Amino acid sequence: MTIDTGAGSRATSPAGAARALDLLDGPVTDTTLRRYLEGIPGVDAVGLEQRAGGLGTRSIKTTSKAWALDRIIELVDLTTLEGADTPGKVRSLVAKALNPDPSDATCPRVAAVCVYGDLVGTAVEALGASHAPRARAAGHGPGIAVAAVATAFPSGRASLAIKLADVADAVAAGADEIDMVIDRGAFLSGRYSQVFDEIVAVKDACRRPDGDDAHLKVILEVGELSTYDAVRRASWLSILAGADFIKTSTGKVPRAASLPMTLLMLEVVRDWYQMTGEQVGVKPAGGIRTSKDAIKYLVTVAETAGEEWLQPHLFRFGASSLLNDVLLQRQKISTGHYSGADYVTID
């Protein structure tokens, strides 16, 4: 499998190419991408952090808090990405996704489960009639999607052919969403067109024979991009190449999602929307463990991109331990007393 870097070949992936060709002055090459991306003004780091800090101080009480907790659950990609994952672990994750709080039937379901590619089949089977495509077809609400990490997650260090095979494998197994990692090495050494081409190629690989396609989330891994400027450029690059979602991190490096990083990415998404009318999603992942933190993210989304973004197709939390904390807070609100870890499932 080889990828032609000439502009002509991109006629096969109109979404990405169209987005980019409209904006770049000329064909997609390292030069035109660099001219565009490095022409984006730098980030005012102090201002950004101050703004994020300010958004984090809102006090959310009673009914708003109850609403926020339910909404957080609806926005969660319940995740297990361990080397030690087993089919049994995935089935118990799916059971939790279907019924997060067995003691409370009013508890909403999560948006998706997120697993490694080889476990997609197990997750789809465990979801059964609640799997998103089947649930939608039967008219039983949105159902629960299966997201798979692919493209040699988490490092992304493999040849393009292997990455594409990884994606195709997960899509064939029934994945509804693909979380790909960008090649940070290529991005940091300025080979923007290589990153661009990979995203375009992966987007292609997300197509199913039936014409439907898996949603593509592009993981920037902000902890390895280090600077706000680089994250802003990578966000633009990913959106230009056709990402449906931009995601902060893999959760495998120490500096994962932070409020300022997420705010920065939301600003790019907002700017893109104002420019083109296209809505791109954002997914902070890694390190969001408490309801309090998650509520700060909701506030940030509502204040930056708009409340419209607080929906599963435009905003997600990648999290594993967050759900339990949200359930404890829900129980506190519904019973009037503090709950404890003995009253939610261990995962």
Partner 1 sequence: MTRLTVPKTYKLYIGGKFPRSESGRTYEIATRAGGFLANAAKASRKDARDAVVAARSAVSGWSSATGYNRGQVLYRVAELLEGRRAQFVDELVQSEDLSSRQAEAAVDLAVDRWVWYAGWADKYAQALGNGNPVAGPYFNISVPEPTGVVAIVAPQSGEGHSLVGLVSAIAPALVAGNTVVVLASESAPLTAISLSEVLATSDVPGGVVNVLTGSPAEMAPWLASHADVNALDLVGAGALDWVALQVAAAETLKRVLTPEDGSDAAAPSLQRISAFTELKTVWHTKGLL
* Active-site residue, selected from the candidate residues 65, 163, 203, 247: 247
Q: State the minimum distance, in angstroms, from the CB of residue 338 to partner 1.
A: 4
* Active-site residue, selected from the candidate residues 283, 293, 296, 325: 283
Residue 204 catalytic?
no
Query: Under rule CB under 8 A, which residues in 258-297 are in contact with partner 1?
Result: none
Cis peptide upstream of residue 154 (ω within 30 degrees of 0): yes
Instruction: Give the CA distances from residue 202 to residues 165, 264, 280, 341, in Å, rounded to whole numbers and listed in that order.
Output: 9, 25, 17, 40
Q: State the minimum distance, in angstroms, from the CB of residue 334 to partner 1.
A: 13
Query: Of 68 and 285, which has the nearer Cβ to partner 1?
Result: 68
8 A C-beta contact, residue 175 and residue 214:
yes
Residue 70 catalytic?
no
Indicate which single residue of 342, 345, 346, 347 sits in contact with partner 1 (rule: CB under 8 A).
342
How many chain residues bind partner 1 (CB under 8 A)?
A: 9
Indicate which single residue of 183, 343, 346, 347 sits in contact with partner 1 (rule: CB under 8 A).
343
The amino acid that residue 212 corresponds to is D
Q: Please state whether beta strands 112-116 and 76-79 pair in parallel, antiparallel, or not at all (unpaired).
A: parallel
Q: State the minimum distance, in angstroms, from the CB of residue 163 to partner 1.
A: 41
8 A C-beta contact, residue 160 and residue 3:
yes
Q: State the minimum distance, in angstroms, from the CB of residue 274 to partner 1.
A: 40
* Strand ranges in 92-164 using DSSP code E only, listed in sequence order: 112-116, 145-150
Q: State the minimum distance, in angstroms, from the CB of residue 342 to partner 1.
A: 7
Backbone angles phi and psi of 90, in degrees to 5: -65, -40
Residue 296 catalytic?
no
Query: Of 39 and 336, which has the nearer Cβ to partner 1?
Result: 336
Query: Under rule CB under 8 A, which residues in 302-341 are in contact with partner 1?
Result: 331, 336-341
Regarding 25 and contact with partner 1 (CB under 8 A), the answer is no
Task: Give residues with Cβ within 8 angstroms of 107, minimum separation 6.
Answer: 70, 73, 99, 100, 101, 327, 330
Rounded to 10°, the helix 30-37/192-205 angle is 100
Query: Of 99 and 339, which has the nearer Cβ to partner 1?
Result: 339
Query: Of 157 and 292, which has the nearer Cβ to partner 1?
Result: 292
For 208, the 3-state DSSP assignment is coil
Rounded to 10°, the helix 14-23/228-240 angle is 120
Q: Which residues bind to partner 1, rule: CB under 8 A?
A: 331, 336-343
Residues labelled catalytic: 179, 247, 283
